[in-house]
Amino acid sequence: MEPKVFSDVTVVAFSWAMVGPLTLKFLADYGATVIRVETRHRPCVTRISAPFKDGRAGLDRSGYFNHFSANMLSVSLNMAHPRGLELARELVGRADIVMENFTPGVMDRWGLGYEALQAIKPDIIMARQNGFGIDGPYRNLAAFGMVLAAIVGIPNFIGWPDRDPLPVGVSAYTDGIGPRFMAAALIAALELRDRTGRGQLLDLAQFETAIGFFLPAVLDRAANGREPQRSGNASGRAAPHNVYAGLGADRWCAVAALDDDQWRRLCEVIAAPERAVDPRFATLAQRKAHESEIDALIGSWVARLDPAEAMSRLQAAGVPAGVLQNAADLLADPQLAARGLFWPIEHPEMGRFTHLGSSISLSATPAQPRLPSPCLGEHNETVLTQLLGKSDEEFVELLTSGVLE
């Protein structure tokens, strides 16, 4: 079998929530040995978050945790126990990368800050993903989903001009952004280490990576002194630009026309060619001035169709359109199935469970499901006896002394 991209890389991860595990996926899915250090005393927030398989709660039954955690190992260490800290340091000695996304200060209190890790393994790469970074006045602020999204300013861009800002529906929004940046940084750090023998500290602030997704608004303020206005579904660069209800319960189709040619084609599809030559809709500016009339026109056409049929007709004519898919649609989507995004894997606690695969395709070394998401502490014996070389007697002693909890 072709060796995987990261098959010679070992990661020890003190990570919880989503930002750490989503970064780990980039490595684990391409062969890295990723060891998550966890504890029953304070389990990962995603392990105790719904939805649970069959509606039955359990540390190993959360769809939230398991969806994102294939190909990883779990070791349960009581970090309040001196032997737990000792084993953590031994794991560092076998690692290429140590990753953490706790509030700044936690790792240092355990004696696992960057300088301490360097003393254990001089070429170690430490990746820290905190809400605001490891320095600056915000460094100790809580970085939970909606709070961080608010400080980034995301709600100010969501909603309608005459209404209040709307919170982000998926609270861990920024957790899905940072991992893309950190994965690239880790690859660069590994390449430098392989050339020079030097490790380094990577400090990623989710606050900063998320702002990159709203730069036009920030730049407009800096250059022109303007604050962006909430615009609902509308866009200053397109008319129409909205979602329209079709046949079926809560079924919708998004439709946009970005230029005069797309508007003409749209009018032909909806059997209203006279609107294409109507002077009220001749330019984008004029269409924006009569947008409510356009929305009513398109809405009445979409309402008579299945949204997928509306999308198909419009796309065939070169008009941007798309069904608003729900979760069931995504799980059954033929495009995602053809690219193997979802991995059904047998899980020891939940049976056959759909894990998230990789959205990046490498032709020579594709990502593959090797392991289901781990039960908490599932790999204690494997890691301690095979990686750290503990004897069976030592392992039993650790197991019975409150260290592996």
pLDDT in tens, 340-360: 999 999 999 999 999 999 999
Residues 160 and 292 in one domain: no
Has residue 331 been placed in a domain? Answer: no
d(CA 280, CA 285): 9
Segment 128-137 mean pLDDT: 93
Q: Are 48 and 372 in contact (CB under 8 A)?
A: no
For 86: left if phi > 0, alpha if psi spans -120 to 50, otherwise beta; the answer is: alpha
Residues 103 and 205 in one domain: yes
Residues 49 and 118 in one domain: yes
* pLDDT tens track for 380-402: 999 999 999 999 999 999 999 99
The residues, ordered by sequence, that sit 6+ positions from 101 with a Cβ below 8 Å of its Cβ are: 14, 15, 16, 17, 19, 20, 128, 129, 130
pLDDT above 80 (res 298)? yes
Sign of the alpha-carbon dihedral angle for 388, 393, 399, 400: negative
The verdict on whether omega for the bond into residue 167 sits within 30 degrees of 0, i.e. cis, is: no
Residues 31 and 145 in one domain: yes
Segment 151-163 mean pLDDT: 90
Domain that holds residue 261: 241-326
User: In the numeric block, which tokens belong to residue 301?
Assistant: 């056409």
* pLDDT tens track for 84-115: 999 999 999 999 999 999 988 899 999 999 99
Greater pLDDT, 54 or 147: 54
d(CA 269, CA 276): 11
CATH code at position 293? 3.30.1540.10
Q: Are 125 and 131 in contact (CB under 8 A)?
A: no
Residues 56 and 114 in one domain: yes
CA distances for 370 relative to 126, 208, 311, 386, angstroms: 25, 34, 38, 18
d(CA 251, CA 223): 41
User: In the numeric block, which tokens belong to residue 138?
Assistant: 């915000």
Has residue 221 been placed in a domain? Answer: no
Residues 170 and 56 in one domain: yes
| Domain edge (last residue) among 266, 294, 326 | 326
> By C-alpha distance, which of 41, 43, 39, 34 is closest to 13?
34
Mean pLDDT of all residues belonging to the chain: 94
Residues 198 and 315 in one domain: no
Has residue 224 been placed in a domain? Answer: no
| Domain edge (last residue) among 326, 358, 386 | 326
d(CA 120, CA 116): 7
Q: Using CA atoms of 173, 175, 177, 180 in order, give the dihedral in degrees to the nearest 10.
A: -160
| Domain edge (last residue) among 326, 348, 376 | 326
Has residue 321 been placed in a domain? Answer: yes
Give Dmax (Cα) for the chain. 87
Looking at 33-47, 216-230, 375-389, which range is the least confident one?
A: 216-230
Has residue 154 been placed in a domain? Answer: yes
d(CA 298, CA 316): 17
164 included as an active-site residue: no
Residues 126 and 260 in one domain: no
* pLDDT tens track for 173-184: 888 899 999 999
State the pLDDT confidence band at 2, using cuts at 50, 70 and 90. low
Residue with tokens 């022109």, as numbered in its chain = 224
Residues 169 and 25 in one domain: yes
CATH code at position 31? 3.40.50.10540
- The number of domains in the chain is 2
Residues 57 and 150 in one domain: yes
Residues 281 and 370 in one domain: no
**Length reported for the chain:** 405
Residues 68 and 150 in one domain: yes
Among 29, 60, 96, 175, the active-site one is 175
Segment 25-54 mean pLDDT: 95
Has residue 234 been placed in a domain? Answer: no
Has residue 333 been placed in a domain? Answer: no
The verdict on whether omega for the bond into residue 51 sits within 30 degrees of 0, i.e. cis, is: yes
> By C-alpha distance, which of 34, 26, 31, 35 is closest to 5?
31
The answer to whether the predicted template modeling score (pTM) of the entire model surpasses 0.75 is yes
Has residue 217 been placed in a domain? Answer: no
Question: pLDDT value at position 171?
Answer: 67
The residues, ordered by sequence, that sit 6+ positions from 34 with a Cβ below 8 Å of its Cβ are: 11, 13, 24, 27, 28, 71, 72, 73
Q: In what order do the strands lie in the sheet with 10-14?
A: 73-76, 33-38, 10-14, 97-100, 125-130, 201-205
